[in-house]
Structure 1
Amino acid sequence: MGLTSNLQPIIDLFPKWNLENWDNRWFAAFVFYCCIEAGYKIPVKHTNEAVKCDFAGCSA
């Protein structure tokens, strides 16, 4: 539609993401962003390195 994206504040929470390769993961990322904005201190990654996805990753 020729509009400027307003997704950068959400994408900034995920160091591996950018506007070009975020793979339409906006739905879970938006919920994560809302939690952060509401004051919840949720890490973007699980502390167990065996867990491969971010908390905002919805693969299905």
Structure 2
Amino acid sequence: MGNPSFQASNAIIYVTYGAFLLLGTGLAWKMRNQPKVDFLAGNRTQTALPLALNFIAAGE
């Protein structure tokens, strides 16, 4: 299978950008009236091991 043309590559990239833009805008619109408490309520929901593995995977 050959490589896609320059125009096809750009079309794929820009369609993906547009999809992410629509998804992000839709999620932001849906979450606009959610109280901040819901975002901050995740305190102490994970143990140390998953958090440590997450930091290792993220390269922190």
Q: TM-score range by the shorter chain?
A: under 0.3
TM-score normalised by structure 1 residue count: 0.26
Larger RCO (CA within 8 A; separation ≥ 6): 1
TM-score normalised by structure 2 residue count: 0.26
Return the structure number with greater helix share. Answer: 2
